[in-house]
Amino acid sequence: MSTLPTYFAPMPSSATITAQPAHRAVAERELPRGDRAALAPLAGVAADWEVVYKIAARREELFAAFGLVYKAYVRAGLSTRHPYRMRVTPYHLLPSTEVFIAVKQSEVISTVSLVRDGALGLPLESVYGPEVAQYRKRGFLVAEVSCLADHRQGQRRSVPVVMRLMSLMAQVAKRRGVDQLLIACHPRHRRFYRHFAAFEPFGEEKPYRTVCNHPAIAMALDLSWAPIDHPELYAKFFGTPFPEEVLEYCPIPDRLRAELSLAVEASYVGLACSELELLAAG
């Protein structure tokens, strides 16, 4: 089964949507008083400094997120171009995957996906199968952080939004019972994940076929021990809880799976059509 690691690839933006925020957990110190009053209470959404954080649920949100990943990957040489202009993995068609987005001024500016262990396992198992199997053997519930992309030039400008989005993802993972967050990233991003998110390597550098054979390294974050081993990081991820309604389970709607399977086939040349049909059928 073809799989996809996570790479951080800044890119120009063209993905826009019409946001429908419903609840905003606003950091008041970041907003002028007049602007605070303009933010009406809304459901299923949290916002900090004009940026809305949520789990993508609507067609335009998901298509904008997948378009952002596609453009980032093509720009970084991790994917070839195709007419659908979206990077969608087979795992996105499963109910065990959720897509997170940050939206500013009706534009998706950052996205990341959480792939929980499901019918297809995890994406990085095509390269790190034995290593992931060891986590399962020890009784851990594993999930993979995948398809991280941000539209802005330079990590310095992107880090605060990416970290808050990953905070939402981590809180959702913990709520779903996940013990270990796994990731496959480009070796040059190893320092970013260690410094900002306390991920530790557990697999050696290997070529990854589905990103044009670019190198990858496997890393993990133990959510159970994070409060003890990395208290400062844990405070960043969990110190400001998102509202309960923002954390509610929200997989890709069934009605979109068949449509998105076409983009999966284009993104993963060689994947059998029968497999795609099986995934689309749920």
Instruction: With respect to residue 267, please indicate whether it lies within any of the assigned structural domains.
Output: no
- How far, in whole angstroms, is CA 202 from its chain's centroid? 20
Choice among 17-26, 90-99, 222-231, 258-267 with the minimum mean pLDDT: 17-26
189: domain range? 28-240
Instruction: With respect to residue 252, please indicate whether it lies within any of the assigned structural domains.
Output: no
Closest-CA residue to 171 (of 254, 81, 234): 234
Q: What is the pLDDT of residue 271?
A: 39
Residues 6+ away with beta carbon under 8 Å from 253: 57
CATH assignment at residue 218: 3.40.630.30
Does residue 85 register a pLDDT over 70?
yes
For 246, phi then psi, to 5°, come to -75, -25
Choice among 9-13, 29-33, 220-224, 232-236 with the minimum mean pLDDT: 29-33
- How far, in whole angstroms, is CA 187 from its chain's centroid? 18
Identify the residue with better confidence: 210 or 2: 210
**How large a percentage of the chain has pLDDT more than 70?**
76
Please tell me the distance from the alpha carbon of residue 194 to that of residue 96, in angstroms, as a whole number.
Answer: 26
Number of domains forming the structure of the chain: 1
Contact between 216 and 185 under an 8 Å Cβ cutoff? The reply is: yes
CB half-sphere exposure, 169, CA atoms < 13 A: 31
Instruction: With respect to residue 120, please indicate whether it lies within any of the assigned structural domains.
Output: yes
Model pLDDT for residues 113-164, shown as the tens digit of each residue? 999 999 999 999 999 999 999 999 999 999 999 999 998 655 555 788 999 9
User: Global pTM?
Assistant: 0.80
Model pLDDT for residues 151-199, shown as the tens digit of each residue? 865 555 578 899 999 999 999 999 999 999 999 998 888 888 888 888 9
SS3 for 203?
A: strand
